[in-house]
Amino acid sequence: MLGYLHDIGNCVNRTDHAHSGAIIAYNILKDMGMPVEERTEIMMAIGNHDEKTGTAINDISAAIILADKSDVHRDRVTNQNMSTFDIHDRVNYAVTNANLTLDEKERKITLNLTIDTKICPVLDYFEIFMERTMMSKNAAKYLKIWFELIINGTKLL
């Protein structure tokens, strides 16, 4: 359920969606009868998942951050007219394979991406994902695990 709730604030506005989403989610969970301690922890996690204003503050927030900031893939692009793509569309469309894996034994989470560099250079990925990548690294650190990024077979972190 949290996978769906974390971006519910986008129904209000993309700007500050984490904060409005936290309040909306809190009220939904309250109406569902969730105990106050649990819904407060979830509210705090949702409110801290945006790279502009948030940080990992609990295990749930760290997990949301890692999942959310790793969500890059061609399937996210609904507009198929490449001539109208902005950088976000181009980067997402260029990612032909994205796998987020957890190695419990090594205490490592790996984001492994394949980027079609005929569509966009890898540098474009970092133009929009650098803050998100650093937030993922810090979220993993909060969980006392290592974050690893591999793009086109090259380990970058």
Residues 40-59: pLDDT tens digits? 999 999 998 888 899 999 99
pTM for the whole structure:
0.88
Q: Which residue has the higher pLDDT, 17 or 41?
A: 41
Per-residue pLDDT at 17:
85
Per-residue pLDDT of 63-76, as tens digits, reads 999 999 999 999 99
Taking residue 144's Cβ as centre, other Cβ atoms within 10 Å add up to 8
Structure tokens at 139: 């979220």
Residues with Cβ within 8 Å of residue 17, at least 6 apart in sequence: 7, 9, 10, 50
**CA torsion sign, 70 to 51 to 142 to 61?**
negative
Under 8 Å between Cβ of 49 and 64: yes
pLDDT band at 2, cuts 50/70/90?
Answer: low
Q: For residue 68, which of 35, 93, 100, 32 has the smallest C-alpha distance?
A: 100
